[in-house]
Structures are given as structure tokens and as C-alpha cells.
Structure 1
Amino acid sequence: MRKTFYDPWPELRVTLGARYDEYNDFGGTFNPRLGFNWEFIKNYSVKFSYGTAFRAPAFGELDLTHPFVSGNPNLKPEQVETFEAGLIAKPFAGLTTQAIYYHSYISDLITLVPGTITPLHYDNSGSVVSEGVELEGRYDFSGRLQGSFISANVAIQQPYQNHLAVFDVPSERANVQVNWAVTPHWSVFGHLLVKSETTRAPGDSRANVPSYALVDLSLLSHNAFYKGLALSFSIYNLFDQKYFDPAPTSIPGDYQQASRAFFGQVSFRY
């Protein structure tokens, strides 16, 4: 996407962008983007953005041949319109906070519908609306702890499909991240993820999917042994929390997610 920045006044930045894609199976799609950030008082600003995007049909959705499911070569891409508005505040040095409202509308949704040749086939049918609020905050330490920070965000959302509430999606999600710079070359990074209880759709007799909290911990090194060398060692799901994501009613139980896992990484930039 090509973007252009324009500052009509020192306190106001306007961003314009556009992207055009041409496909030989469904033609072209044009997607613009507009945004601005206005610092109406020193260290306090409002921002606004509007943009569109798309999802091209997958090969299987276009050309699948199967006794029970068939593709549709006449599919159109899914279209997405997103609007965001927010307030950003930096009340004192090191602290940045923001509150954002967002609204996304997905049309021409690609879904499976009853077919004529096979029981099911892909078609553009229905729409999804997702809206919510995100609250964020980050504090960057200075002095001896420079490079250390703590940040948190909370997202509250409510999606609708064809004007009906979408279930099996958590309505609240929170993240807390802490980075402690032990030395200029070594740091410890921690991440806490919290998801709220996931409610079932009407008619689903199963109990709601319980809420859960996960903790990840990483040891990071940069230029400690050699310039350009970066090392990391991470433990995901540190406390080996047993947790699930919702499965369709046709599947007994739910999808159990990964248990405790260990990862190491070495990279070198020259």
C-alpha cells in the first residue's frame, strides 16, 4: 500500500493511502485508507482512521471438487471496512495511554451454504460486524532501568453475524507485558494473557468454556557475546495451564491447547 503523510499544521498529521490488486479469477479491488492525528493540547491528541481491505477466495473455495462440498468459481472477495477513533494521552514522561473505539464490517462473507449439485457449496452469503473498545497503557523507565517497560491492554468486543450475536468468542481479553533490562545486553520479558469465559450459542447444552490466564517468560540477549548476535530462550505456558478453545457442536468436548513448551532461538545480523 502506498502511503502519503501530510502535516497541514504542526499539531495535525494526515495520512492517505491506497492499494489496487488485480486477480485473473475475480477482477480488481481498490482499497483506500485515511487517517489523522491531532494534538489539540500538548501531549493530548485524538486520532481517526478509516480503511478498507479484502480477503481473496482461496483456491479450494473456488475450485474444490468433492462429493459433499463444491467450490464456486464466481466467488467475490470478502470486503472489510474498518473505522477507528481514539484519544491518546501522555500525562507525564514515560507514560503513554490511549482509548480506542473500533467498528469493522465484513460483507460478502464466504461461507458454506446448501448446494444443488453437492450438499454444500461455497458462496458469498451474510456479513459480520465487530465493534469494541481497547484501553492501553505503557510506561517506559529511564535512568538505570532504561530499556525496561511495563504495558497493559484490555479489549472488550461484541461481534454480530447477520445481525445476530456471535457466540464462542470471548468478550474480554487482557494482556500485561513486562520487560526488565538487567544489563544493556540482557533482559527478562514476561507476558500475561487473560481471556474471559466464552459463552455457548443457544441450543448448545455444553457448559461455557472457562476463562483462563497464561504466563510466558523469556530471557533475551543482544550483542552480549558478539556484535549482531541475538539469543532468546522462552517458556510458553509457564505454569502448564490446561485450557481450551471452543469447538463446534458436532465435535465432542473442545479443542485442548498446548501445554508448557520450551523454545530457543539464535539469530545473527551482519
Structure 2
Amino acid sequence: MFAQDEWHLARDWDLTGGVRWDNYSDFGTTVNPRAALVWQFAYNLTTKLLYGRAFRAPSFQETRNLNNPVAIGNPNLDPEIIDTVELAFTYHPSPSVAATLNLFRYELRDIIRFVPDSGPGSEDVAQNTGDQTGFGLEWEIDWKISPTQSLLANYAYQNSTDEDTNSDVANAPQNQFYIRSDWEFIPDWNLNIQINWIADRSRAANDTRDDIDDYTTVDIGLRHRFKNIPLNISLIVRNLFNEDAREPSFIGVPVTAITNDLPLPGINGFVSVEYRI
């Protein structure tokens, strides 16, 4: 069940509040509120203060897995709970430019992990154990340079700590940057280039492998729009410079890590044909 209401507190001030109630047959009920306070500081600047709570229900494997010789489920698990506070600014210095800045902090508790059982045997059992805290920012600019050119760029930073080990949260990048340029260089012909940078991913405290390498990928696309028929044809090349980009493989129970992580596709391309009826 979900309920929400809005209040106009004063000129340029609005408050939205809501609450969600869920009832599960296996772990019971959970109540998750949220609120948003919006201040129209100026005609081109909006400020928002946001709060929200969310949950992750235990999976079937985490609650009902009984025949795995390594990892045993636990029917008495509680859901994971995350509380987030966010301060957001949206600024339009001109009609062609939009910039946003979000500052956030979160607390995650009752994390579900497989931990050694205190009884006889070598099985690990799913338990609510451990907390995680983090803060960061997200910045984005969307610029319509001209009728034929546009630019979109965003950057994200996060600093997350595992409270059990007092170490960085594993596998999550601390820094991310993305930029995309679109250019209609002649009528009905569009060229776009995008660059994606992922950096500063650490391992789990019990993972002895080296930290995951940073990577930068470049994609390029060429699109033609036909004038007299509703047809678009695109040629797209991903990972143009064949970067050795990898995503982390997790270590722990019931997952066994892949030594050299998960490789992303090297240079590859495809042709897309779109016909609108």
C-alpha cells in the first residue's frame, strides 16, 4: 500500500511526503517513508532536499537454500534497509544549458551475508550482519551548443565504507565520468562520440587480488535519417580502441571469484535499421 500528499507551504516552497507499506509472508512487514522539500530559489535555480528509505527482500536462495553443501539459507532473515538523504541543485544559466549537482549520504544496515555457522560442520549460513555508510556527489551538464550540436557530461564520486572492516566497499568505483557529443554535420547525418571512464575500484578485505584496473572506453556512431521515408540507418562501433576493460568478479559464499575478473567486449560494431510505421 502506498500513500502520498503534497503541501504548498509558502511562495516557492513545496513539500511532498509519502509512505509505502509492504507485507511479506516470509519476513513480515516493512514501512518505507519518503519526503521532498522543494525551494524555487530563483527563476533558474531549484533546490531540493530529499529523504527516502528502501529495502531489499531476502532472495529465495538466501532464505530457502537447504541442499547446498557450502551455503545454507536462513528463513529468519530481515530485509536490508537503506536510508538516503540528498541535496540537489538544478541551474539553468541560459535556455540552452542545464546543470545539476546532487550531494548524498546513505546508511545501509542489516546486510545479508553468508557467514560461518557456529555449530558443527563447515557450512556458511545467511545472516543479517554488517552495515555500510557512504557519501558522494553527482554532477551533470546538458548543453545545446547550437541547433546541430549538443554536449552531455556527468561525473560521479562516492566514498563508501564497510563498517565491519572499516575499509572501502569492494568493487564499486569511487570515480566515474561520461561525456557524449552529438553533431549533425550535414542535414540528416548525425555523428556521436561518447567516452566512459571508470576508476578506483578496490577489492574486498578478504580478497588478496590486486585492485581492479581503471578503464576508458570510446564509442562512436553514425546515423542517417532518410527524408522521404521513415527510415533510419546507424553504424555503431563500441570500444573503438579495444580497451582491456573488466568488471569485478565477487569473492565469497556461494560465489567463487573469477581470477582475472569479467572481460567486457573488445572492439565490436553493428548496423541498426529502424523503420517507423
Q: TM-score, normalised by structure 1?
A: 0.83
Identity of aligned residues (%): 27
Asked if structure 2 preserves the Cα contact closer than 8 Å seen for 1:61 and 1:122, the reply is yes
Q: Which secondary structure state, in structure 1, belongs to the residue aligned with residue 180 of structure 2?
A: strand
Counterpart for residue 154 of structure 1:
155
Deviation, structure 1 residue 134: 1.6
Query: Retained in 2: the 8 A contact 1:69–1:118?
Result: no
Judging changes above 3 Å, is the alpha-carbon distance between structure 1 residues 206 and 22 closer, same or farther for their aligned structure 2 residues?
Answer: closer
Structure 2 counterpart of 1:119: 123
CA displacement, residues 78-117 of structure 1 (integer Å, 9 cap, x when unaligned): 1111110022222222111122211121111111111236
Q: 2:135 aligns with which of 123, 131, 134?
A: 131
Say if 2:167 and 2:205, in contact at 8 Å, map to a contact too: no
**1:89 and 2:91 correspond:** yes
CA contact (8 A) 1:158 1:165 kept: no
| 1:16 aligned partner | 17
Between Structure 1 and Structure 2, how many residues are aligned? 266
Question: Relative to structure 1, is the Cα distance of residues 223 and 159 closer, same or farther in structure 2, using a 3 angstrom cutoff?
Answer: farther
1:42 maps to 2:50: no
After superposition, the Cα gap between the structure-2 partners of 1:60 and 1:203, relative to the gap in structure 1 and judged at 3 Å, is closer
Matching residue of 1:101: 103
Q: What letter corresponds to residue 137 of structure 1 in structure 2?
A: I
Preserved CA contact (<8 Å) 1:70 1:118: no
In 2, distance between residues paired with 1:18 and 1:269? 41
Question: Quick one: distance in 2 between partners of 1:267 and 1:176?
Answer: 25
The alpha carbon displacement at 1:120 in A equals 0.3
Say whether 1:253 aligns with 2:260: yes
Q: Deviations over 1:208-264 (max 9, x none)?
A: 33322111223456786655x665543221221112234457653333222123345
Aligned to 2:31: 30
Task: Name the CA distance, whole Å, in 2 between partners of 1:3 and 1:204.
Answer: 44
SS of 1:213 mapped into structure 2:
strand
Report the secondary structure of 1:91's partner residue.
strand
**Match of 1:99, as an amino acid?**
L
Q: Which amino acid in structure 2 is aligned with residue 20 of structure 1? A: W
Q: CA–CA distance in 1 between the matches of 2:80 and 2:204?
A: 24
Partner of 1:213: 216
Structure 1: give runs of 5+ residues left out of the alignment. Answer: none
CA distance in 1, matches of 2:87, 2:52: 12
Give the aligned partner of residue 254 of structure 2.
none
Unpaired stretches in structure 2, ≥5 consecutive residues = 252-256
Shift in CA distance, 237/224, structure 1 to aligned 2, threshold 3 Å: farther
Deviation at 1:152, TM superposition (A): 1.1
Task: Say if 1:8 and 1:225 are closer, same or farther in 2 by CA, change over 3 A.
Answer: farther
Answer yes or no: is the 8 Å Cα contact 2:70–2:124 preserved in 1. yes
Equivalents in 1 of 2:172, 2:229: separation in Å? 46
- State the superposition RMSD in angstroms: 2.9
